[in-house]
A and B are shown apart, each in its own frame.
Chain A
Amino acid sequence: MTLAAATPLPSDRREKGHLAAASALLTPATAVVAVMLVAPLLLLLRMSFNRFDPTKLMVEAATAENYTRFFGDAYYTDVMITTVVVALSSTAFCLLFGFPIAYRLARWQSRWKNAVMLLMVLPLFVSSTVRSIGWMVLFSHGGVINLAATSLGLGTMTLMQTTTGVIIGIISINLPYMILTLQSVVEGIDENLEQAAESLGAAPARAFWRIVWPMALPGTMIAAVLCFILAMNAFATPVLIGGPRFHMMAPLLYWEFTANNNWPFASALALILMTTTLVMTVLANKLILGRQARA
């Protein structure tokens, strides 16, 4: 920069100088990503092809047995299916509950808006473990929900150690992310557009589906992907609410890694979980946004 300023350079050479400066500035970040993210991932990939030995633990090898074990055993594939079902349904419910709230918030003009936004963020200050324990108090046998249900003569309501309970727990954790993301998405859509649609004869619901929804779709996908990834990797909620007989991928991975010391299989599980999440995200994007682009 100082050189360029001192000696007048032709504009294209000066541009090259700027580019060089830009790449120089990017180098530390690139290095950090390479060292902290890419290298461990490559290491993980390498480990997933090693063999596990109960006495010697990890043995250097080049075998696919960890992968064949996962895909060959219904126990493991069922864990993956449970994980995907829980992640998909919790994301769907987050979207269902979150969009109306986010829309209202975005279009709300009130001095209370900031206070309500703060309320929305507040749960994020409490760790998911603490919040799951809160749900346990509500769900457990002598818990609030069961007491209420039995005293109203509805029988017992079992939510503890059920898929429904886990989904409710995950929704409560992911909903703020969904609402905050969607709220900024809706705020980016000019309110005049809805009014223009209404003035042209579209009832409010129709104006929403024809104008707001297609414009909000890309941002909504981002919010949904965020929730989906969080749910796919949920740990505390399935462990605490789901109990010992409920299995999702993240706790399973942790179990293999720590209790069984089976690093090769845990590495394979990690890569399978990551790939599944990634593939589903990319597919959803292609399917939904691609269809919109053609429409």
Chain B
Amino acid sequence: MSTLDIENVSKFYGTMAAVDQFSLNVRAGEMVALLGPSGCGKTTTLRMIAGFVAASRGDIKVSGRSIVDLPPHKRNMGIVFQNYALFPHLTAAANIGFGLEMRGIGRAEASRRVDEMLALVKLDGLADRLPRQLSGGQQQRVALARALAIRPDIVLLDEPLSNLDASLRSEVARDIRILQREHGFTTIMVTHDQDEAMAMGDRLVVMKDGRIQQTGDQEDLYERPETAFVASFIGRSNLIEGHVDGQRNFAFGGEQPLLLSSDRRSGPATMALRPERLALRAGREAGKLTGTVVVGVYLGAVVEHAVQIAPDKRIVVRQASEPGNRLCLPPGSEVSIDWDGSAERVFEAS
């Protein structure tokens, strides 16, 4: 399998940058997920790799060779489209064999490889079905087999799970992941769903407004987010906006400023706190923050409290439930909230 190097790629529509200075090096056999809200540029990036959109600037290399000047049909990319884009007038086998036919591979060899692909995606026996005679999950597997049949340099998956029933998603995600690991195809996947990205990617690239916010593995993004956006987009975070003064004080509109666990530059800043890294205690004694319970909800495995910490600021605290222990506090209870210094992320406003 091949490596993929994207170097400073930008795409402008007029003066608007849909993708701005995107750089990413993908190792052979690696699966990278591009993650972000709609309009963040992830799909445009994928389409630039595929060749459907011309990059305004920058270079894209497959195993060191630049491909930006190649038309899509010479790029050897295996693409699974969001809506699968199966050819409705061709059978599953003909769909899978289409790329082989275009490459002029002989009938016998092609049919052997189609069978191999059908077996790989566990669709043996459905070779002669038309796409409309297949279920959504089966269609998706045909699309995957069609993309893999050409032995592509890079596999591109566009929102691979979004058209599937919720009940199928985790199963399909796992199947794709196992297939990808076993055969080691270098893969780029695009998704707006963080669970999907977390479950499938070796590394994740979080994008917003055409720019990369952060690149890293699941733990990097969750434990060490570099921007407030990443902190809130990956998992849940309580974002508290405020101001750092010369000392370690963080003023956010509460009764008294918070004492930060490390020195920060003075100026406006946003603090991010994961709900499950916070400890809640009844009473107003020890704790970095004090507040009043707005509502407590028992959710089985966890108990969540919404706590008013300032006239216009509520945060959520999530704790593991313990049997027999009344953790759910009534509204109006005075509480204190504490956390370990490592759980605290402060982002200086840019």
The chain A residues found within 8 Å of chain B, CB to CB, are 190, 192-193, 195-204, 206-207, 210-211, 214-215
Select B78's contact among A199, A206, A207, beta carbons within 8 Å.
A199
- Given known contacts A195-B52, A211-B87, A214-B89, A200 and B81 CB-to-CB distance under 8 angstroms: no
State in angstroms the CA–CA spacing of A193 and B81 once bound together. Answer: 9
State in angstroms the CA–CA spacing of A211 and B89 once bound together. Answer: 8
Q: Among residues 59 to 112 in chain B, which have CB atoms less than 8 Å away from a CB atom of chain A?
A: 71-79, 81, 83, 85-89, 98-99, 102-103
Contact A200 B150 (CB under 8 A): yes
Query: Which residues from chain A contact B78 at a C-beta distance below 8 Å?
Result: 199
B345 lies within 8 A of chain A by Cβ: no
Contact A200 B85 (CB under 8 A): no
- Given known contacts A196-B79, A199-B72, A201-B150, A190 and B99 CB-to-CB distance under 8 angstroms: no
| B interface, size bucket | 20 to 34
Select A198's contact among B72, B83, B89, B147, beta carbons within 8 Å.
B72
Query: Which residues from chain B contact A192 at a C-beta distance below 8 Å?
Result: 81, 83, 85
Contact B73 A199 (CB under 8 A): yes
The chain B residues found within 8 Å of chain A, CB to CB, are 50-52, 71-79, 81, 83, 85-89, 98-99, 102-103, 146-147, 150
Contact B89 A215 (CB under 8 A): yes
Contact B87 A203 (CB under 8 A): no
Query: Which residues from chain B contact A203 at a C-beta distance below 8 Å?
Result: 71, 73
State in angstroms the CA–CA spacing of A198 and B78 once bound together. Answer: 10
- Given known contacts A192-B81, A206-B102, A199 and B87 CB-to-CB distance under 8 angstroms: no
State in angstroms the CA–CA spacing of A192 and B150 once bound together. Answer: 18
* 7 shortest interchain CB distances as A-B pairs: A200-B99, A201-B102, A192-B85, A196-B85, A198-B72, A199-B79, A198-B73
State in angstroms the CA–CA spacing of A201 and B50 once bound together. Answer: 12
A221 to chain B, nearest CB (A): 15
Query: Which residues from chain A contact B147 at a C-beta distance below 8 Å?
Result: 199
B190 to chain A, nearest CB (A): 14
A288 to chain B, nearest CB (A): 14
A16 to chain B, nearest CB (A): 31
State in angstroms the CA–CA spacing of A200 and B99 once bound together. Answer: 5
Query: Which residues from chain A contact B89 at a C-beta distance below 8 Å?
Result: 214-215
Contact A196 B150 (CB under 8 A): no
A143 to chain B, nearest CB (A): 47
Closest to A194 in B: B85
Extra contacts, 14 of them, besides A200-B98, A201-B73, A204-B71 (Cβ < 8 A), are A190-B83, A192-B83, A195-B81, A196-B79, A197-B98, A198-B72, A198-B73, A199-B50, A200-B146, A201-B102, A201-B150, A211-B87, A214-B89, A215-B88
- Given known contacts A192-B83, A192-B85, A195-B85, A200 and B102 CB-to-CB distance under 8 angstroms: yes
Select B99's contact among A193, A201, A204, A211, beta carbons within 8 Å.
A201
Query: Which residues from chain A contact B85 at a C-beta distance below 8 Å?
Result: 190, 192-193, 195-196
- Given known contacts A190-B83, A192-B81, A202 and B88 CB-to-CB distance under 8 angstroms: no
Contact A197 B77 (CB under 8 A): no
Contact B72 A195 (CB under 8 A): yes
Contact A201 B103 (CB under 8 A): yes
State in angstroms the CA–CA spacing of A130 and B71 once bound together. Answer: 48
Select A193's contact among B51, B73, B74, B87, beta carbons within 8 Å.
B87
State in angstroms the CA–CA spacing of A88 and B76 once bound together. Answer: 43
B275 to chain A, nearest CB (A): 40
Closest to B156 in A: A199
Contact B75 A199 (CB under 8 A): yes
Query: Which residues from chain A contact B150 at a C-beta distance below 8 Å?
Result: 200-201
B225 to chain A, nearest CB (A): 34
Query: Which residues from chain B contact A201 at a C-beta distance below 8 Å?
Result: 73-74, 76, 99, 102-103, 150
Q: Which of A190, A192, A196 has the most CB of B within 10 A?
A: A196
Closest to A293 in B: B89
State in angstroms the CA–CA spacing of A290 and B213 once bound together. Answer: 56
State in angstroms the CA–CA spacing of A73 and B103 once bound together. Answer: 58
Q: Which of A199, A202, A204 has the most CB of B within 10 A?
A: A199
B94 to chain A, nearest CB (A): 10
B164 to chain A, nearest CB (A): 17
Contact A196 B73 (CB under 8 A): no
Contact A197 B87 (CB under 8 A): yes
